[in-house]
Amino acid sequence: MYTLSWQPPYDWPWMLGFLAARAVEGVETVGEMSYARSLSVGGHRGLVRVVPDLHANVLLVTLSSGLQPVASECLAKITQLFDLSCCPQQIVSALGSLGAARPGLRLPGCVDAFEQGVRAILGQLVSVAMAAKLTAKVAHAYGDTLEDAPEYVCFPAPVALANANPLQLKALGMPLKRAEALIHLARATLEGTLATKAPADIEQGVKQLQTFPGIGRWTANYFALRGWQAKDVFLPDDYLIKQRFPGMTPAQIRRYAERWKPWRSYALLHIWYTDGWQPSVDGEITGIQ
């Protein structure tokens, strides 16, 4: 058993609910106050289970025997997935009234950038539930069964999808172009052209992602948000964001969001998950054209 600490407050019901809605059957299991998933790190495979201890403000982490040799890498991945390094007081101070109602909101990350890229591509133009179902089909078709927990499969490695037949991927229920995008992403990962860690220049990294087939501006920014866990990403042309800013163009929304630098990713989450939120009409946006 390992422990990872966090700074309170932490909204665990929200975080686990977010992950549950996107859980890939066979890869992840999300309970009311628990999370488990298969993991492959450097050729080592196993199961990781986490349970938050709300009184001690620590995450209790159990790794199966297959992951013990790479425990430190596994703990780093869990830290990123759950945004355990976040300083909520700093975020609330920067966001002001926007963050005051839900100071425990964290930025969901990922355990693997390639996996998150696959999820982002498969999530295009479909519901969250449909994206999770399609991702599960890909995982079961191209992932390996976990030996010490056969009810789980490991998410497919880049090499498995790099060599995939696009027509076979299409047969799982996706457009051919999307299948080809997955194969390109896998090959880019193997070649090192997909940044699996946050680059120093996030904006430039997002532009590079948009040169990949099948990855437009929204997908590239969403990948940066979760795959790199970039702290200062905003999506002014997101459908829900445009609803939250009625009558404003994406350029106007982008300018409004400047006030939340360098924590715009957290601002985005708060706006997404605060029903009825509206931008304030104040001097800061007067004259925006």
Query: How many helices, marked H, and strands, marked E, lie in the chain?
Result: 14, 5
Element (H, E) at 48: strand 44-53
Measured in degrees and rounded to the nearest 5, phi and psi for residue 30 equal: -115, 120
Provide CB contacts within 8 A for 247, sequence distance 6+: none
CB 29 within 8 A of CB 132: no
- Cα–Cα dist 249/243, whole Å: 11
Confirm whether 83 is a catalytic residue: no
- Which residues partner with 38 through β-bridges? 47
Closest CA to 193 of 164, 170, 168, 215: 215
Q: Which of 83, 112, 232, 238 is catalytic?
A: 238
Query: 20-47 in b/e burial notation, b at 16+ Cβ within 10 A?
Result: eebbbebbbbbeeeebbbbbbbeebbbb
- Give me 186's structure tokens: 């896998």
- Give me 125's structure tokens: 């133009």
Active site residues: 238
